[in-house]
Amino acid sequence: MDPSSLKHFAQNADIEIKKLTKEEIVFDLIGAEPPLANALRRIMIAEIPTVAIEKVTMWQNTSIIPDENLAHRVGLIPLEADGRDFDYHKEGEEYTPKNSIKFKLHKICTKKDPSAPVVLNNTHDEEQLYNNANIYSGDLEFVA
């Protein structure tokens, strides 16, 4: 970036704060090019302490979803935990309540009517035909 474009940006860009609380800030970034606005967004996201599921241990995954895909999907579940309340887990260190959260997911999909034929690729009737046809983030059980 040459100095003249930086000077132009400094003279024409502005941040207008719309809302500011302890938990949230809403602002308009005026006069900034999209790549710069995106860089600012990514920097802010990186600085927010977050907690996510990183290590998944599977035992008897009988679903049609491969272990790797299921682990990836579980890792995308938003967790309501403050990252500042935890220590960073170091390689080779034991998992403790101070550096980890442990969840359990145990669901079995069964037919509601055992004598009914198996219906594949009919997503409209999943909940009517099967018990636990869909699994939700609320199905995760916290393990102390």
Task: List the Cα angle 51/138/80 in 5-degree steps.
Answer: 25
pLDDT tens-digit series, residues 43-79: 988 888 888 888 888 888 888 889 999 999 999 988 8
Task: List the Cα angle 47/51/53 in 5-degree steps.
Answer: 135
* Predicted pLDDT at 122: 65
- Based on DSSP, count helices (H) and strands (E) in the chain, helices before strands: 4, 6
**Domain that residue 71 falls in:** 67-143
* Predicted pLDDT at 69: 94
**How many Cα atoms within 13 Å fall on the side-chain side of residue 98?**
4
| Claim to verify: residue 137 and residue 87 sit in the same structural domain | yes
74 lies in a domain? yes
**This prediction's pTM:** 0.58
> Is residue 120 predicted with pLDDT exceeding 70?
no
| Claim to verify: residue 31 and residue 85 sit in the same structural domain | no
